[in-house]
Amino acid sequence: MQKSKFINLIISLVSGLLFGAGMIVSGMVDPNKVIGFLNVTGNWDPSLAFVMGGALAVFTPIYHLFIKQRQYAINGEELTLAAKTKVDSSLITGAAIFGAGWGLAGFCPGPAITSISAGSHITLAFVVCMIVGIMIANRYLAGRFALPFIGYNKT
């Protein structure tokens, strides 16, 4: 393995470790806490607003000061950023479907992956179903079936 590739993988590993640690420390891995945050009309626990606040407080300045003007990352590879800029119906529909699932379980992808190490069958069921959901979505994106309201994927 080339040295540069090895360093890339170390950066990925460290990022993954920090990300998972952030998920655990912040309380995002606790579905009850997530539901407590989403339950704005009940016994509301605003803690998780601080997660997004803390994340944005660190990421936003680093992005705008050090990353935005770069075309290439420090390892010499091109920055792969989401290219789409248009707000379309599949963005909103997808986000709404995701929101329904997040509200039902109190689990989103990051905390679910982080929790795998606890070995619960609940986490495994969620992750397996999430992967199946991604596969079904890939078939929708390939134009194989229609969704309510927005129909077939045209792009």
Partner 1 sequence: MENFTPWMSLAGGALLGLSAALLMLFNGKTAGISGVLAGLITPKKNEVSWRIVFLIGMVLSFLLVAPFAVSLPDISGENIFIISLAGLLVGFGTRISNGCTSGHGIIGMGRFSKRSIYATLTFMFVAMVTVFLRGLLGGL
- Using the rule CB under 8 A, is 145 a contact of partner 1? no
| Site size toward partner 1, by CB under 8 A | 117
Residues 130, 69 contacting (CB under 8 angstroms) = no
**Would you state the torsion angle of the CA atoms of residues 91, 66, 55, 138, taken in this order, to the nearest 10 degrees?**
30
Q: Could you say which residues in the range 9-28 bind partner 1, by CB under 8 A?
A: 9, 11-28
If binding is defined by CB under 8 A, does position 116 make contact with partner 1?
Answer: yes
Identify the residue among 3, 40, 69, 154 touching partner 1 (CB under 8 A): 40
Answer for which of 3, 69, 101, 149 binds partner 1 (CB under 8 A) is: 101
Residue 51 CB contacts under 8 Å (≥ 6 apart), including other chains: 22, 26, 27, 28
Residue 45 CA to residue 111 CA, distance in Å, equals: 18
Which amino acid is located at 93 in the chain?
A: T
C-beta of 58: minimal distance to partner 1 in Å? 3
Residue 146 makes contact with partner 1 by CB under 8 A: no
* Residues from 47 through 86 that contact partner 1 (CB under 8 A): 47-60, 62-63, 66-68, 72-75, 77-82, 84-86
Task: Outline where DSSP puts E strands in 2-48.
Answer: none
